[in-house]
Amino acid sequence: MTATAARRRETNVDPYPLRSANSPIERERAVHRALNCLYAIARRKSVFCAYDGHLLLAFALTASTSRSRALRTKARAMGRERARYWMTRWPVICRRLDADSVLQQVIASDAAGRLGLTTRRIQQDLRATVSRYSTESLLYFDPRRQDVPTNLTVCPYEAWYYALTSAYFCARQAMPLPVRTGDVLKRLASLLPYPPAGTPRHYQAVYAVTHLVYVRSDYGERRLSPRALPRVRAFLKASLGPALERREPDTVAEIVESLLALSVPATDPLIESGRRFLLATQRPDGGWGDQADRYGRFHTIWAVIDGLRDRSWRRERPATASRSPEPRRLGK
């Protein structure tokens, strides 16, 4: 136990007592401030050109899965403005496409479609580009034929969830990527047991698990059955406390969002503690002060928006969904 945690236990004082985690009005106000901050960042040309796919997806998902009509309307207007700008730049983007950049543009195309824009010609260009590259060039490895290699330039968990999300969005956009999400899901077992908190790979393991939940829930469209992925739920619950101690808003937010998608009730003490932390640490500009890099700053805001906002879940997905099996082994 850290010294900070010990002091909290001794005093039995909530470190974030001033905010009500389950006040929809307060959370929505915080989300609107965050969305304004995210849009200001997205309008910076250098940032948008580097991360257009992820930024467009942030607006598109907020617009399509939020319960609040005001939030849907604002996110849709922001997203459509940025998506139209992206479409005007397509001739320049298309000429520069390669194996490292094409999959982010697949995400951008998917996001534009969610925002109600037509991208058929762009999709044709993307399919032609994807078809020119091998699976290994696009995904670091070929999940159809091998487990995640341990000698990659990135963490194996990062390579795994990059392959999973890429397969998901390529399937949605009918890209000629021969890998399916089921191929990638089968390879997670080779990365288990998950590393415990405090070890070097724990951070990326958490993100691998949250992205598994994203894909299973169609990125927040469908809430999963309370019986789905019990081991994943246990791992996420065990990881929230350490993320709060390290004061990591992006990790806390992704865990909260994923637990909600796994049908953990909003009144659960873990959800409430995570949301109290996120509300209490928002800065006056609407962000959370992550200045590590351009991606980290906007990704933290996006993650917290998703951790705080209420969803308009379409339907629960049965626990027996065969296309996304849960790994049999899980570390403590």
What residues contact residue 331 under an 8 Å CB cut-off, 6+ apart?
192, 193, 194, 195, 196, 235
**Helices and strands counted in the chain (H then E):** 15, 0
Tens of pLDDT, residue by residue, the chain (332 residues)? 344 344 333 334 445 554 566 688 999 999 999 999 999 999 999 999 999 999 999 999 999 999 999 999 999 999 999 999 999 999 999 999 999 999 999 999 999 999 999 999 999 999 999 999 999 999 999 999 999 998 999 999 999 999 999 999 999 999 999 999 999 999 999 999 999 998 989 999 999 999 999 999 999 999 999 999 999 999 999 999 999 999 999 999 999 999 999 999 999 999 999 999 999 999 999 999 876 667 878 999 999 999 999 999 876 555 443 344 444 332 22
The values of phi and psi at residue 140, to 5°, are 80, -35
Tokens representing 23 are 């006040």
Say what the pLDDT of residue 325 is. 41
Q: 169-186 burial, b for 16+ CB within 10 Å, e for fewer?
A: bbebbebebebebebbbe
pTM above 0.85, yes or no: yes
Tens of pLDDT, residues 173-184:
999 999 999 999
What pLDDT does residue 313 have? 87
Q: What is the pLDDT of residue 200?
A: 87
Burial of 310 (0-12, 13-18, 19+ CB in 10 A): middle
Distances 139 to 228, 230, 291 between C-alpha atoms, Å? 27, 28, 28
Read off φ and ψ for residue 283, nearest 5 degrees. Answer: -90, 165
Q: Are 21 and 273 in contact (CB under 8 A)?
A: yes
